[in-house]
Amino acid sequence: MQIWRSSWFILLGLIVSISLPMPPASAEEPGAMVDGAGFSLYGTESIKGVDAAKIERDPVCDRSKRPKIFKIEPDEAKPGQKVTIRGENFGTKECFHGVAFSAAGPAKIDHTFLNDSTIEATVPDVRPGMSFIDVVAGGGNARSKGFLVQSK
């Protein structure tokens, strides 16, 4: 009974404290919140102005266009050789993320972005056998049909 009564008083105190309005804080109080002031009350310089040149340089990547791979030329190659990946919606150089070979795992693949529909990539040093080539662009990724990595 004593525990129930203590819990009741704690609950009643919480309800009263939540329902009572808080007096407004003055701007002279340290740590006072003032709408629209940001960090200016805390001695930190706020952001001033907009750098229009930086906004113009920022790429706008179209995430609605999913990339597609149509053809890999040649369709088999040795490690160290270059292949050409042809498709569509690879985006711009700034929005293109990279190329991956399934047989290489997370290894970084050397590639050259030529345009929205053409990429050149170097076959990584992996075991001979079938692999898939992935193209990762701003709109997602695309996977090729099987690609044969030949022995050196």
Instruction: Kindly give the confidence (pLDDT) of every residue in the chain, 152 residues in length, as a single tens digit, with 9 standing for 90 and above.
Output: 555 455 655 655 656 555 555 555 555 555 555 555 555 555 555 555 667 676 666 667 888 899 999 999 999 999 999 999 999 999 999 899 999 999 999 999 999 999 999 999 999 999 999 999 999 998 999 999 999 999 98
- Measure the CA–CA gap between 110 and 94, rounded to whole angstroms: 16
Q: Tell me if 104 sits within 8 A of 124, measured CB to CB.
A: yes
Q: Which of 64, 45, 47, 37 is nearest to 138 (CA)?
A: 64
Which amino acid makes up residue 38? G
Cα(7)–Cα(29) distance, integer angstroms: 35
Select from 5, 8, 128, 137 the least CA-distant residue to 64. 137
Q: What is the CATH number of the domain that holds 115?
A: 2.60.40.10
Same-domain pairing of 79 and 15: no
Per DSSP, what are the bridge partners of residue 99? 135
The confidence score (pLDDT) of residue 76 equals: 95
What pLDDT score does 53 carry? 72
End-to-end Cα distance, the chain: 84
User: Does residue 75 lie within any of the structural domains?
Assistant: yes
pLDDT at 12: 56
What pLDDT does 62 receive?
A: 82
**Can you give the pLDDT at residue 140?**
92
Gap between the Cα atoms of 120 and 90, Å rounded: 12
Same domain, 49 and 74: no
Confidence (pLDDT) at 50:
66
Establish if 63 belongs to a structural domain: no
Residues 105 and 38 in one domain: no
Query: Is residue 43 domain-shared with residue 86, that is, in the same domain?
Result: no
Q: Which domain holds residue 131?
A: 68-149
Domain count of the fold of the chain: 2
Domain match, 39 and 107 both? no
31 belongs to a structural domain? yes
How far apart CA 82 and CA 124 sit, in angstroms, is 10
The pLDDT value recorded for residue 26 is 53
Question: Side-chain half-sphere of 121: how many Cα atoms within 13 Å?
Answer: 26
Does residue 103 form part of some domain? Answer: yes
Whether residues 79 and 127 share a domain: the answer is: yes
In a domain, 62, yes or no: no
